[in-house]
Chain A
């Protein structure tokens, strides 16, 4: 498709389970971002890839969170041993430029809503 695709759209997990969220960015986009959006809040940065390189993971809240983009296209955000506070919408965004300043639009997917019971 033409846009950023995320799956699953909805995920319910029991506390302690591992989850994996997938992001398929727009073809050819160099930069890929993961954001976490808690209920009633704005998106908060988690991590950033330029091609397959994870250049910034300063926003990952704990070592239970792990992201990868092994071939520079599809990315997976993995959350191990989920906790209730992990409940949120996880947004993926991509953009074409790989420069050091935001120079254009971030294209967002519709998000994956994670509910941890």
Chain B
């Protein structure tokens, strides 16, 4: 069965500093990988996804992620964070439950210090 591990429950970063959120997955076949962001009281919004091809993928809001098969990782990065980036970030792998479903990690809570 597939699984996702996000080892950092909370991360605090100063505004303007760089960010890296870690994600490790377990999946038998070629994974489809996703990063979603959830602001308080909001639904999940897709930041970026990896299906195949270039292992460095660009997403919205200046985020990028790199797929490393040898490390089973899909870490999310941003060169300079803004206060509005404070949110919960979820890494997910497909296919989870159901034909098109996703299996999510437990999330990383990002705090931005002024």
| A residues lining the B interface (CB < 8 Å) | 4, 31, 33, 35, 40-48, 50, 55-56, 58-59, 91, 93, 95, 97-103, 105-106, 108-111
Contact = CB atoms under 8 A, between A and B. Distances in A.
A35 B100 CA distance: 13
A59 to B, nearest CB: 5
Nearest to B90: A42
Contacts, number: 87
Main secondary structure of the interface of A (DSSP, over half): loop
A99 to B, nearest CB: 7
Contact of A56 (B45, B51, B99): B99
A48 B100 contact: yes
Contacts of B94: 101-102
- Would you list the 7 A-B pairs with minimal beta carbon distance, nearest first? A48-B98, A102-B94, A45-B97, A42-B104, A108-B43, A56-B98, A108-B44
Contacts of B32: 101-103
Contact of B100 (A59, A91, A102): A102
Interface residues of B, number: 28
A110 B96 contact: no
13 contacts: A41-B107, A42-B92, A43-B104, A56-B98, A59-B97, A99-B99, A99-B100, A102-B95, A102-B100, A102-B102, A105-B49, A108-B36, A111-B43
Interface centre among B90, B97, B98 (most CB of A within 10 A): B98
A50 B99 contact: yes
Contacts of B103: 45
Contacts of A48: 97-101
Contacts of B96: 45, 102
B100 A42 contact: no
A50 B101 CA distance: 11
